[in-house]
């Protein structure tokens, strides 16, 4: 998290420049900004700190690097033009995502060193090479101030250090690229040219179980869907059969009711016919003043016992009560009286 915050703080000046913020030259301040601190500490990382603050080589190195950096590029690199900032951003930003913040800082340091060298060569080419005329007065030439000599030495030291950093950064990039090219597969040890730590064969082998599991899961889902469809079809068939059974039961009830109605109408018709027959028989029957067994059985007077027995059986069957059990009371009484008369006539003739 700290490296990410440092990288974002380093990229802040370039983002401000890209949004159109105009750089402003400000007086050097003793406290370095995030990008200045990262750059000067990277240069002075090999200088060991001293025992006291006055004799601390590390602190003197940091101050000298900060003064040189601000003298060339201003505080927080604000003297960089828009094109120079765009060049730094396009060159070094992609290293942040691929190689981390260290490679990003190394790239910035190398680009600043190259920019300083270009500016120095441009200033030297623009300077007038003709020697200055000797002064007319015999006054001695003033000596260079010690502060200017120290600044020149510090600038030379900073330039050499930045060139060294740029060289190291270029070597590191070459090493990283060679490592990337020589990356090996962690399964079979074969060369891996693209991203990742598995070769194409190992990736296919690793993906095969996943594909098999996905295929099995799809087959299980299809089987479950088919089972659900089968259950729904069975439920619909059961419901259809239940509805059919209910309809059949309703039709049977209606048919039974219709049959009962027809049977009742038939019995009523038979009762009416039976009553009409009884009435007709009563009207056509001669008035018999006394009981004649020969007339009841319908046999002549000189008949034999066998003929009498046969006539009796025939009359008994004709007036059986079972034939008129479903008819009215009048018809049943008539048939019962006739059966009694048949029995009486047979007893009289059979002795």
d(CA 227, CA 229) in angstroms, rounded, equals 5
Q: Which of 14-23, 212-221, 320-329 has the lowest mean pLDDT?
A: 14-23
Given pLDDT bands bounded at 50, 70 and 90, which one contains residue 2? very low
Place of tokens 């200045």: 36
State whether 41 and 168 are in the same domain: yes
For residue 177, the model assigns a pLDDT of 66
The more confident residue out of 286 and 339 is 339
Asked if residue 301 and residue 168 are part of one domain, the reply reads: no
Is residue 28, in this structure, part of any structural domain at all?
yes
The model's pLDDT over 68-86, given as tens digits with 9 standing for 90+, comes to 888 888 888 888 888 888 8
Does residue 281 sit within a domain?
Answer: no
**pLDDT at position 15, please?**
45
Would you state the pLDDT for residue 89? 82
Scan for tokens 């000298």, then name that residue: 64
CB half-sphere exposure, 150, CA atoms < 13 A? 9
Is 247 part of any domain?
Answer: no
Enclosing H/E stretch for 59: helix 57-73
Please work out, in degrees rounded to the nearest 5, the angle formed at the alpha carbon of residue 146 by the alpha carbons of 143 and 149.
95
pLDDT band at 142 (very low <50, low <70, confident <90, very high): very low
Residue 35 belongs to a domain: yes
Asked if residues 38 and 96 have their Cβ atoms less than 8 Å apart, the reply is no
Final residue belonging to a domain, choices 165, 181, 197 = 181
pLDDT, tens digit, for every residue of 209-257?
888 999 999 999 999 999 999 999 999 999 999 999 999 999 999 999 9
In a domain, 164, yes or no: yes
* Per-residue tokens: 256: 């039974």
What pLDDT score was predicted for residue 119?
A: 83
Query: Does 190 reside within a domain?
Result: no
pLDDT class for 21, splitting at 50, 70, 90? very low
338, 319 contact by CB (below 8 A):
yes
Q: Are 73 and 79 in contact (CB under 8 A)?
A: yes
Residue 162 sits in the same domain as residue 23: yes
The mean per-residue pLDDT over the stretch 132-157 comes to 55
Please give the tally of structural domains in the chain: 2
pLDDT at 281: 63
Banded pLDDT at 37 (limits 50, 70, 90)? confident
pLDDT at 291: 86
How far is it, in rounded angstroms, from Cα 155 to Cα 158? 5
CA atoms within 13 A on the CB side of 287: 1
Beta strand residue intervals within the chain, DSSP E = none
What's the whole-number mean pLDDT along residues 276-291? 64
- Is 295 found in the same domain as 176? no
User: When comparing pLDDT for 158 and 153, which is higher?
Assistant: 158
What letter does residue 109 receive in the DSSP assignment? H
What DSSP assignment string belongs to 91-146? HHHHHHHHH-HHHHHHHHHHHHHHHHHHHHHHHHHHS--SPPPPPSS-PPPPPPPH
Residue 282 has pLDDT above 70, yes or no: no
What CATH number has the domain bearing residue 304?
A: 1.10.287.110
Domain of residue 79: give its range. Answer: 2-49+56-123+155-181
pLDDT, tens digit (0-9, with 9 covering 90-100), for 175-205: 666 655 557 787 787 777 666 777 878 888 8
Let me know if residue 217 belongs to a domain: no
- Tell me how far apart the alpha carbons of residues 14 and 145 are, in angstroms, rounded to a whole number: 37
- Evaluated on CA atoms 34, 40, 43, 45, the torsion sign reads negative
Q: Is the pLDDT of residue 13 over 80?
A: no
pLDDT at 8: 43
Residue-wise pLDDT tens digits, 113-123: 888 888 888 88
Answer yes or no: do 170 and 302 share one domain: no
Average pLDDT of the chain is: 78
For residue 21, what are its two tokens? 């913020």
Residue 318 domain flag: yes
């Amino acid at each position: 998290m700290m490296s990410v915050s440092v990288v974002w703080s380093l990229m802040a000046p370039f983002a401000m420049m890209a949004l159109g913020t105009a750089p402003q030259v400000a007086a050097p301040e003793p406290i370095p900004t995030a990008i200045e601190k990262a750059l000067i500490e990277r240069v002075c990382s090999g200088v060991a700190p001293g025992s006291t603050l006055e004799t601390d080589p590390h602190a003197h190195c940091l101050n000298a690097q900060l003064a040189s950096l601000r003298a060339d590029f201003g505080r927080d690199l604000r003297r960089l033009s828009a094109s120079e900032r765009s060049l730094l951003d396009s060159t070094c930003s992609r290293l942040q995502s691929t190689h981390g913040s260290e490679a990003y800082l190394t790239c910035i340091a190398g680009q600043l060193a190259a920019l300083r060298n270009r500016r120095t060569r441009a200033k030297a080419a623009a300077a007038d090479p003709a020697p200055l005329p000797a002064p007319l007065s015999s006054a001695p030439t003033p000596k260079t101030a010690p502060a200017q000599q120290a600044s020149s030495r510090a600038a030379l030291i900073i330039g050499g250090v930045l060139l060294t950093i740029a060289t190291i950064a270029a070597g590191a990039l070459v090493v990283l690229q060679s490592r990337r090219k020589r990356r090996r597969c962690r399964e079979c040890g074969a060369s891996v040219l693209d991203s990742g730590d598995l070769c194409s064969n190992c990736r296919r082998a690793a993906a095969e179980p996943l594909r098999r599991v996905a295929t099995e899961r799809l087959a299980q889902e299809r089987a479950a869907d088919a089972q659900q469809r089968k259950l729904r079809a069975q439920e619909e068939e059961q419901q259809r059969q239940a509805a059919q059974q209910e309809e059949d039961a309703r039709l049977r009830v209606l048919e039974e009711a219709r049959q009962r109605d027809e049977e009742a109408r038939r019995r009523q018709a038979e009762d009416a016919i039976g009553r009409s027959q009884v009435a007709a028989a009563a009207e056509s029957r001669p008035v018999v003043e006394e009981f004649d067994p020969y007339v009841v059985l319908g046999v002549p007077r000189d008949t034999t016992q066998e003929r009498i027995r046969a006539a009796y059986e025939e009359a008994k069957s004709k007036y059986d009560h079972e034939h008129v059990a479903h008819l009215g009371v009048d018809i049943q009484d008539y048939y019962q009286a006739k059966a009694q008369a048949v029995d009486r006539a047979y007893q009289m003739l059979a002795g």
